[in-house]
Amino acid sequence: MRPSILFPLFAETRTLPGIGPRLEKMIARVAGTRLVDLALDLPSGIIDRSYRPRLIDAQEGRIATFVVNVLDHLPPFDRRQPYRVRCSDDSAIIELIFFRADNSYLTRTLPLGSKRLISGRVERFNGKLQMPHPDHVLAPEEAANLPMQEPVYGLTEGLPPKSLAKAIRASLEKVPPMAEWLDPEYLRRRGWTTFGAALHAAHAPQSEAELQPTAPDRMRLAYDELLANQLALVLIRARLRNVKGRSLKGDGHLKQKAIAALPFSLTPAQSQALAEIEADMAAPARMLRLLQGDVGAGKTIVAFLALLDAVEAGTQGALMAPTELLTRQHMAALAPFAATTGVRMALLTGRERGAPREQILAALAKGEIDILVGTHALFTDDVTFRDLGLAIVDEQHRFGVHQRLQLQSKGTTDVLVMTATPIPRTLALTAYGDMDVSRIAGRPPGRQPIDTRVLPAERLEEVVAHLRGAIAKGARAYWVCPLVEESEKIDLAAAEERAGELRELLGPKVGLVHGRMKGAERDTAMAKFKSGELSVLVATTVIEVGVDVPEATIMVVEHAERFGLAQLHQLRGRVGRGSGKSTCLLIYASPLGETAKARLKTLRETDDGFVIAEEDLKLRGAGELLGVRQSGMPEFRLADLAAHAELLAAARDDAKLILSRDPELKSPRGEALRVLLYLFERDEAVRYLRTG
């Protein structure tokens, strides 16, 4: 139950005076629907109104503040023309310009012969000084109400800045005084104020420096948010650690058969990761481990060997991937090893319906299937295992904490999650702080580095000529079309058009895959590419993750400047999977912005996914890095993971220390920390405290 002290903050924005349905909708678009969302929506800029010249000295284009006398009103004859009010000081005349004006409002606000304080942007038109739509018009006795420094907030079309600022001020008044949840010594060392004081100060910046993430008030607020995140993860982890697990230990007979059938030896990194996983499985507590490996590092075989451990121990295993394409690929890659070891494997996706699905479910419940490979369909309630020992989730960044917990409710199950998206350390802490982490560094033996080149779009003809020559010698190539805009339809049209052009230039062996195709059509196109029936596969980013065709040695990415670093790295990882020399051609449209330039330079210089991920975090920030909303990644309103990495580490240590001393958060500081968890909506963690 949310503490009553926070009730006023979690009220809807419509409860504020002056906020009707239209304003409520627009505010929701930029900040959120509740007062707490407004209070945490910090300003992105500042308007300085301290420039107060005489009219004759006013610089064009600057925000300026003047005391003027109102000389006369010049209403237009035609409503399409502006309403003008002429004003002066003792040095010059300025015209205030109003479009679509309310005459009676203007005569009330600017009475003839009165003195007024005006503030806004100064312009010059036909040699005359003007101020279109002044930001402020006040009587001299109201001068104290004019802020010298005014915060600027993110807006949406139709939302007046004044209305949003007023709503934010009203929401700040609802922030209650709360007991301090930070350690007093840490607070003193940092020189920080209370949460409430820091929040009010952050909404009233006096200089550009106070807008920076490193400003003391913003640091304090970021730390609070990061502490809530880390405390929640440590609580969830403690809870999962306490949930009864069981020791799963195989005798190694199936695993030895599979390793003997491998065409290569495991790398030291693979062996190390497998040993860590097996040690967790053998321990009585439940396993919750993240397996990180760069593109093509050989995670899938490590996962399969872990599944064999579970089968040897007399239980079942599940391997889950986010797309049907990936699950079918896992199935195809692992089927030969399953045949060698005699393990019974089955596939379950949304495509299996009716009688075939019923048969699989019945066999699974009886224990006649050892390993089930599938999509999110494995989450549904009708999927019942006889005894699920190990669940493996591929491409973890699509699964949040909630899904991890849901998966574990299927039984006393160990969970291993894998990702080929190398995650910067700071992000790994915020999203997977409840998990142990294994990393497979490097690439399997026999893989050659990929030659990455960056070319302007003007050289497209050369790229096609290079492709023609390579295809004649039996090469296979991917050609990735960009995201044109948010519309899938337009992306699709661009991909279809490019496939048509390449067919004309290179012959009929050009295929196309995209997200709107039916699964069976997509599989057919992929199979033709894999068998060599197609030489070029034109694709949207649907091929980004996990597609494995060792014979493909060329990757062309059009409009590379529109992709993120991690995404480009994933795409590049689709080639270089065999023993042949591979090339990745990144084609960009000129001119290139600074960020895009830095991104392409990083890709040209390194193929280490972990280096690339850290660089991506610096260039784009955490919010965009994995497409937060789709990724199960926590969203931060006040913390900036690139700027606040050091605060995150401190919050992590603090959270562990707090719970080692006060596991139930019963002390006075513990009670304050419960309020913090609710304030930042980490309610899930508080429930764990209550339930034990």
Gap between the Cα atoms of 603 and 628, Å rounded: 23
Residue 634 pLDDT: 58
Residue 7 pLDDT: 95
CATH 2.40.50.140 location in the chain: 50-146
Give the confidence band of 562 by pLDDT, cuts at 50, 70, 90: confident
Compute the average pLDDT of residues 346-371: 92
Per-chain mean pLDDT for the chain:
87
CA dist 106 → 73, 74, 77, 96, 111 (Å): 9, 11, 16, 11, 8
Give the confidence band of 624 by pLDDT, cuts at 50, 70, 90: very low
Place of tokens 């080929």: 420
Compute the average pLDDT of residues 36-44: 95
3-class DSSP state of 45: strand
pLDDT at 534 over 80: yes
CATH 3.40.50.300 location in the chain: 253-440, 450-607
Residue 45 pLDDT: 93
Where is average pLDDT lowest: 57-66, 259-268, 414-423, 660-669? 414-423
pLDDT of 516-532, one tens digit each? 777 778 878 888 998 89
3-class DSSP state of 245: coil
Give the confidence band of 408 by pLDDT, cuts at 50, 70, 90: low
Gap between the Cα atoms of 605 and 607, Å rounded: 7
Gap between the Cα atoms of 31 and 574, Å rounded: 39
pLDDT at 545 over 50: no
pLDDT at 249 over 60: yes
3-class DSSP state of 408: helix
Residue, of 168 and 299, whose pLDDT is higher: 168
Compute the average pLDDT of residues 398-417: 66
Where is average pLDDT lowest: 75-84, 197-206, 298-307, 566-575? 566-575
Q: Answer yes or no: pTM beyond 0.75.
A: no
- CATH superfamily label, 450-607: P-loop containing nucleotide triphosphate hydrolases (3.40.50.300)
Give the confidence band of 491 by pLDDT, cuts at 50, 70, 90: low
CA dist 680 → 44, 227, 344, 450 (Å): 21, 10, 46, 44
Residue, of 214 and 244, whose pLDDT is higher: 214
Q: Which CATH architecture has domain 50-146?
A: Beta Barrel (2.40)
According to CATH, what is the number of the domain 253-440? 3.40.50.300
Give the confidence band of 376 by pLDDT, cuts at 50, 70, 90: confident
Residue 314 pLDDT: 96
